[in-house]
Amino acid sequence: MRATALTLPGVWLIEHQAFGDLRGAFFESWNERAFAAAGIEARFVQENVSISKRYVLRGLHYQITHAQGKLVRVLAGEIFDVLVDLRRSSPAFGRTLHVELAARAHQSLWVPAGLAHGFLALAEDTQVHYKVTDFWTREAERTLAWNDPALGIKWPLPQNVAPILSDKDREGRPLALAETFP
């Protein structure tokens, strides 16, 4: 496994070493010792899988209390994954980061607590698996506006194609009005 620090503090791109033969391939997606050696220590309490059609946009989600660290991996398809640093104490507060993740690449993204997270599905039947460090809590859930001009996110949507959004994601708040972390 190789862990690469990305531009937002605490965010890591994990490249898993896959072992292939005529049957297919195998890789460890989580090994507590290997991740701890890379500086990522986490206890996961819940695992989730979302299945999305092409151009479904989910996010940008976070929990203001019960903040969740996430280990995100694509099981099928590919995504344009976006993070927004909502930690006021961070030198990167308000900055965004995007990473393209695809099932064929055998990668995971470590997202520490205090960041909003969302993605755009770039293929039909995209499946995203993520482990989280705290339980989902409806009262704590918040949504940042995916299209807030202050964030400057350039979602890779074809011209004249609108993302498929839930009502919750359509009603996200801009960064200037969002609840943030200390």
Does residue 88 lie within any of the structural domains?
yes
Q: 146-155 pLDDT, tens per residue?
A: 999 999 999 9
Average pLDDT, the chain: 96
The residues annotated as belonging to the active site are 61, 130
Does residue 25 lie within any of the structural domains?
no
Q: What is the CATH number of the domain that holds 59?
A: 2.60.120.10
> How many domains, the chain?
1
What percentage of the chain carries pLDDT values higher than 90?
99
Please report the beta strands in the chain, taking only residues with DSSP state E, as ranges in sequence order.
2-5, 12-15, 19-21, 24-26, 46-52, 57-63, 70-76, 78-85, 96-102, 107-111, 115-121, 126-132, 141-143
Does residue 108 lie within any of the structural domains?
yes
Q: 34-54 pLDDT, tens per residue?
A: 999 999 999 999 999 999 999
pTM score, whole prediction: 0.94
Does residue 24 lie within any of the structural domains?
no
Does residue 182 lie within any of the structural domains?
no
Domain coverage including residue 90: 2-18+30-177
